Amino acid sequence: MRRLTWFNATSLTLGFAFLYLPMIILIVYSFNESKLVTVWAGFSTKWYGTLIQNEAFLDAAWVTIQVAVVSSTIATVLGTMAALVLVRAGRFYGRTLFSGMIYAPLVMPEVITGLSLLLLFIGIGLDRGIFTIILAHTTFSMCFVSVVVSSRLVTFDRSLEEAALDLGCSHFDAFRLVTLPIIAPAVISGWLLAFTLSLDDLVIASFTAGPSATTLPIKIWSSIRLGVSPEINALSTIMIAIVAVGVITASLITKRASLRQQADERAAVHA
């Protein structure tokens, strides 16, 4: 039934060209010799060289990675707890408020989240810096983690936990030995999502970062507002490459795993 008609082939080709051409142009021109980014003047890697020597960028990158690792880790713990509460805890006082607070940040404009957190930090007299960015990022990415994890928990067979209890586990052991290993893929993808969101965030970080801490997106932002620059092209290329390698590896791993599982299941039927 599934056939590739000329219409489908055209729409796929044009669609993916639209999605990928801008990035490909960016990558190609990052190897441009000229400072005038729109004029091709021969192949060169010199912008990568100047990028590596640009300490401001390197510092910002280091801050960004610290923020992303710490915030996504805390967000994964809190988000997983929140998912357990959403799926498992049943009724409790303020449940509607709780689930509202989980889902609201997903649709909240970043300018509002950033503004409100900034006003809080000023109100309680917290000095803005890495710490405040981490708090801000943890708050909104824990909601994304909890959505990812709870969608896995919904399909989780409760009788697996009951079986663990039945066989003598405490509640905590049942979670540690049975539930967590099984939902681990969802928890890991939640962490990756939180990590990416944190790496990516400009608006909330702009509000909550102080002069002592600048993240990479803030740094990129302040230089691209002035226009296209070859250094930023080089930086973008590096970031795109890292993401592409990561995503392609991950999809290959899951594909291999699902192929192996299929083969196993086929073998089981004939066993």
Residue 101 interacts with another protein (CB under 8 A)? yes
- At its nearest, how many Å lie between another protein and the CB of residue 9? 7
Residue 67, judged by CB atoms within 10 A of its CB (0-12, 13-18, 19+), counts as: buried
Q: Tell me the β-bridge partners of 43.
A: 32
Number of residues in contact with another protein under rule CB under 8 A = 106
Tokens of 187: 């928890």
State which of positions 18-77 bind another protein (CB under 8 A): 18-20, 22-23, 25-26, 29, 37-38
Which segment (7-15, 42-50, 51-59, 65-73) binds another protein by CB under 8 A? 7-15
Site for another protein in 141-200 (CB under 8 A): 142, 146, 157, 159-160, 162-173, 177-178, 181-182, 196, 199-200
CA–CA distances in Å: residue 116 to residues 67, 110, 122, 207, 218: 20, 10, 10, 9, 19
193-232: contacts with another protein (CB under 8 A):
196, 199-200, 202-203, 217, 220-221, 224-225, 227-228, 232
Among 58, 69, 120, 126, interactor with another protein by CB under 8 A: 120
If one asks whether residue 107 binds another protein (CB under 8 A), the answer comes out as: yes
End-to-end alpha carbon distance in the chain: 33
Taking the complex as a whole, the smallest distance from the CB of residue 49 to another protein amounts, in Å, to: 20
Cβ proximity of 78 and 98 under 8 Å:
no
CB of 136 to another protein, least distance (A): 8
Q: How far is the CB of 53 from another protein (least distance, A)?
A: 21
Residue type, 41: A
When binding is defined by CB under 8 A, the residue of 15, 52, 127, 222 that contacts another protein is 15
Paired strand residues for 32: 43
To another protein, the closest distance from the beta carbon of 135 in angstroms equals: 6
- Dist. CA 190–CA 20, nearest whole Å: 26
Residue 247 in contact with another protein, rule: CB under 8 A: yes
Residues 44, 30: Cα–Cα separation, whole Å: 8
Minimal distance in Å, beta carbon 148 to another protein?
14
User: Measuring CA to CA, how many Å separate 177 from each of 9, 59, 252?
Assistant: 48, 41, 27
